[in-house]
Chains A and B, each alone.
Chain A
């Protein structure tokens, strides 16, 4: 019961944080758009965006919990978790996009290209970071071996 309540608190606070971030991003993007397009910025948020925001915030929170905590995937390297996260998130976002904007095929195509690029860039960065970590790891292991030799009793 204690674990379940702490899980619920985690979901509530994380999802609230993501939702707040999405609303702020919407306001910031709308405000910038109004400056660029010389239009009056309307602070009203459409109901559909609020609904999308809630679904997205919950999806990200649950995904994060499943991938980045040790609740399901134990002792997994972070780069694998990161690639899994962006891949699944992109699929969720694409699904949401297609669900809410079925008739905007040009936008959908553009979104899919952006999502794929996002996944590829993240995967590339993760792999490069992993190579760097492994090289650094060899140095760390060498230092560890020296440390072991210098301590009596080993």
Chain B
């Protein structure tokens, strides 16, 4: 892969010249986009740019990560740990081994048996925070 940096421009612009936008390229774009807090999601063969603030939660199923927004579900090339790293300190938390939740999109919390917490999101969807991560959430909220 050839990398060329041309200096002397007023605005930074990145152009990728490639044969096709394969998974590796999309991942690269995701990483670059994360600098301005945008995420790249794919749906129905189309690529979408998603503001991280619009994400309700991220879920990983069979080694594939998904971005859930109020109305849509997008597939992303990023792994869950990479999403976690990029969004650290931006109001997201791990709710289980396979999920990351946007705190801003939680409408209510309710504890459950076994130290778990049930999270209700703004779209009415309910998620379970496992015992291990419920403890971390409580510490974060000073509960």
Contact = CB atoms under 8 A, between A and B. Distances in A.
A144 B109 contact: yes
Contacts, number: 53
A140 B113 contact: no
- Taking chain A's interface residues, is the majority helix, strand, or loop, or is none over half, making it mixed? helix
A148 B103 contact: yes
Contacts of A46: none
B111 A136 contact: yes
Interface in A68-90: 75, 77-79, 82
Given A75-B127, A78-B112, A79-B113, A140 B91 contact: no
Interface residues of A, number: 19
B142 A133 contact: no
Contact of B113 (A129, A151, A154): A129
Interface stretch (B26-34, B71-79, B114-122): B114-122
A147 interface: yes
A134 interface: yes
B47 interface: no
Interface string A113-154: 000000000000000010001101100110110011001011
A148 B113 contact: no
Given A78-B114, A78-B116, A148 B109 contact: no
Interface string A55-79: 0000000000000000000010111
Given A143-B141, A143-B143, A153-B91, A134 B110 contact: yes
Contacts of A129: 113
Contact of B108 (A137, A151, A154): A137
B111 A154 contact: no
Contacts of A148: 103-104
Interface of A: 75, 77-79, 82, 129, 133-134, 136-137, 140-141, 143-144, 147-148, 151, 153-154
